[in-house]
Amino acid sequence: MRVGILTGGGDCPGLNAVIRAVTRKGIQEGDAIVGILHGWKGMITGEHEELTLRAVTGLLHKGGTILHTSRTNPFMEEGGAEKVKKTFGYLGLDALVIVGGEDTLGVALKLYEMGLPVVGVPKTIDNDLSGTDYTFGFDTAVTIATEAIDRLHTTAESHDRVMVVEVMGRHTGWIAVHSGLAGGADLILIPERPFHLDEVADVIIKRHSRGKNFSIVVVAEGARLDSDDEGSLAVQSEEVDAFGHVRLGGIGQFLGKEIEDRTGFETRVTVLGHVQRGGSPTAHDRILATRFGVKAHDLVHEGKFGLMTALVDGRIDSVTLKDAVAELKTVDSELYSIAEIFFG
Ligand code: F6P
């Protein structure tokens, strides 16, 4: 078989491990593996490279994606979907493995419904895809954020300061809750729970009154004030990408100033940003990405298209792309309740 593979959307640690797994397994079984460059853009322009064993050597520990990525949406271009189908034929492909998050896999689903044989692999540091317990990349992002919180703890304590840490998480607070729990945050603010500034200040003041002169507040970039405060998302730029997303950022700075004004405690803000997406994947993500890559190749050979590989109750399985992108997986309230026990 001739199997194409592309990586789309924001990059994340573990992408190269999937590319390596699909290529190694494919070549072992006599396939030719074609790397499509720059995500869906490559399926429009035809930019590609044949993936040999040599091309995927030494990739396992490397962050980013050797295939490059983009947030191109073929359905936003005149005749884009037709161009994708044409490229598929021109490259002589039998199947396409799509490694992406909700946007990239949403495109995969539409193309599958138009007759393209695709298999999806769930990737995003945000961990917000349905149908899978975890996406790869998430564990690495949580590990990086937790280490940052640990480091901020010591300096917060020395200076008797409040430290606000802004982490990624456009629609959901998975990174915030996991890193906040692991790092012992005193308050965690997430998109799923719009918040009141008075309540935030109260938590910090109460903590101070029981002798704790420093606080760590973790906030997801997509967190917002409760509507009572007429809040809206903090954005760096109103400009939208091909999937209609604005560039988030700024909630941390806003919160830091409000906390200082309302509590009188000196406050500093750290925005972790793309540091969370860069560098080497954790062992957990390398293994998960490898298992997903092998499963994706199996699905291709079994002719099971329109599916996404998934981790279900610890086992590698598959779900339909339709179910995976139907709705975002938000932070479950049970987990947030556990984090709440340690607030203040
Ligand atoms: O979707 C993953 C993600 O890292 C989000 O958490 C974040 O909002 C977004 O990508 C940032 O995108 P970009 O790299 O295009 O600025």
CATH number at residue 191: 3.40.50.460
Parallel, antiparallel, or unpaired for β 48-51 and 215-220? unpaired
Separation of alpha carbons 138 and 12, rounded Å: 8
Q: Is 126 among the catalytic positions?
A: yes
Among 129, 166, 167, 168, say which to mutate for ligand 1: greatest number of ligand atoms within 8 Å of CB: 168
161: containing domain: 139-278
Residue 248: its pLDDT value, please? 85
Q: Establish whether residue 145 lines the binding site of ligand 1, counting it when its CB lies within 6 angstroms of any ligand atom.
A: no
247 in the same domain as 117: no
**Is residue 83 assigned to a domain?**
yes
Q: Establish whether residue 248 lines the binding site of ligand 1, counting it when its CB lies within 6 angstroms of any ligand atom.
A: yes
What values do phi and psi take at 180, rounded to 5? -65, -40
Separation of alpha carbons 103 and 311, rounded Å: 19
260 in the same domain as 299: no
156 in the same domain as 145: yes
Residue of 126, 128, 186, 285 marked active site: 126
Residues of the chain with pLDDT under 50: none
Residue 301: its pLDDT value, please? 98
Condensed to tens digits (0 to 9), the pLDDT of residues 164-206 reads: 999 999 999 999 999 999 999 999 999 999 999 999 999 999 9
Residue 229: its pLDDT value, please? 58
299 in the same domain as 261: no
Longest alpha-carbon distance in the chain: 69
pTM of the model: 0.96
- CA–centroid distance, 168 to ligand 1, in Å, is 7
124 in the same domain as 9: yes
Q: Establish whether residue 255 lines the binding site of ligand 1, counting it when its CB lies within 6 angstroms of any ligand atom.
A: no
268 in the same domain as 161: yes
249 in the same domain as 299: no
Ranges of beta strands (E only) in the chain are 2-7, 32-36, 48-51, 95-100, 118-122, 162-167, 187-189, 215-220, 235-237, 247-248, 267-271, 307-312, 315-320
CATH code of the domain containing 55? 3.40.50.450
Among 11, 126, 236, 246, say which to mutate for ligand 1: greatest number of ligand atoms within 8 Å of CB: 126
149 in the same domain as 131: no
- CA–centroid distance, 323 to ligand 1, in Å, is 22
From atom 16 of ligand 1, which residue's Cα is the shortest distance away?
A: 247
Condensed to tens digits (0 to 9), the pLDDT of residues 162-171 reads: 999 999 999 9
User: Which atom number of ligand 1 is nearest to the Cα of residue 277?
Assistant: 4
Whether 291 and 18 have beta carbons less than 8 Å apart is answered as: no
Q: Establish whether residue 170 lines the binding site of ligand 1, counting it when its CB lies within 6 angstroms of any ligand atom.
A: yes
131 in the same domain as 8: yes
11 in the same domain as 49: yes
Report the domain count for the chain. Answer: 2
**Is residue 342 assigned to a domain?**
no
223 in the same domain as 93: no
